[in-house]
Amino acid sequence: MSASKRRAFAERLKQKKLIVAPGVFDGISAKIADRMGFECLYMTGYGVVASHLGLPDAGIATYTEMSNRVAQLSAITQTPLVADGDTGYGGLLNVRHTVRGYEAAGACAIQLEDQEFPKKCGHMLGRRVIAREDMAAKIKVAAESRDSKDFLIIARTDARTTLGLDEALRRAETYLRAGADLLFVESPESVEEMQRIGKTFDVPLVANMVEGGRTPVLTAAELQEIGYRFAIFPAVGFLAMGAALERAYSGLKRDGSSTALDVPLYPFKDFSALMGFDDVSEFDKNYADAATSFK
């Protein structure tokens, strides 16, 4: 299944039409998004660390924790999954291990960034990047470590915020020559900067649409016109979830009951079906008398 999903995503990316990918961060968000007909899902590092550890996306999560999440989310979804691989969790040998691990876990692509360790969220100030040639070496190792070329390498540069757009573009060009399949110039700060990125490269470009972040959130048509081919919306799911939970829990605290909540609730029967309880019931029915046949 993973091989066919990778092939489908790689072929789809060759088209000029924009791919929109929602951020998924746990089993619930992944299962809901998987039913919506998206062409790709994006495993957000920010969301996974927040959901799994309740901590900031600041280099705290380990390779093991993140690769386990890749395997978990890939196993429960049918949609191609692109996964955040942070800095590769170390040096060149770590990058090789990370790429092989993410590919084996079922991802269709891995995103690697040029931040120093410990990294920070891409829309925070104060991010520092490693030398351009050191990141290029990481991308070269990543491209040569994968089993299949359908497993795509996304090279992200965080240089724009501290070193300016010119340096970010130079880095992206270097990473492309090193073997990257997609380029991700993180946190441009205006539509004009986004347009310049689009005019500079004729390869698949990633747009990171973070509500409340440093980059303007544009429509799909606007992004496609600029030249982007892959748009991720990593935060929309956990921001919506946070708002809904805060509203629901506030009502419960206020009233001491859920009878007067003014927030929509997923029907319990439907949610149980989403989680697979219908299969459990069918299994119990089929094997209710299994033990008696061996008496």
Q: What is the pLDDT of residue 294?
A: 79
* CB contact at 8 A, 19 and 12: yes
Of 179, 229, 165, 223, nearest to 202 by C-alpha is: 229
Token pair belonging to 270: 């439907």
DSSP letter, residue 293: G
pLDDT tens track for 89-115 = 999 999 999 999 999 999 999 999 999
Q: What is the pLDDT of residue 16?
A: 85
Model confidence at 230: pLDDT above 60: yes
Model confidence at 293: pLDDT above 80: no
Model confidence at 169: pLDDT above 70: yes
| Cβ-based neighbours of 61, under 8 Å, separated by 6 or more | 45, 48, 49, 52, 53, 55, 86
Choose between 171 and 289: higher pLDDT: 171
Looking at the DSSP bridge assignments, the partners of residue 184 are 156
Fold of 2-233: TIM Barrel (3.20.20)
Report the run of H or E that residue 155 belongs to, with start and end.
strand 152-157
Choose between 154 and 121: higher pLDDT: 154
Token pair belonging to 32: 């809901």
Model confidence at 70: pLDDT above 60: yes
In order of 141, 208, 246, the CA distances from 262 in angstroms are 52, 32, 12
Q: Which residues of 2-20 are buried (b: 16+ CB within 10 A; e: fewer)?
A: beebbebbbeebeeeebbb
Report the run of H or E that residue 98 belongs to, with start and end.
helix 92-105
Q: State pTM to two decimals.
A: 0.94
Q: Please list the residue range(s) of the chain that carry CATH number 3.20.20.60.
A: 2-233
DSSP letter, residue 180: -
Model confidence at 121: pLDDT above 70: no
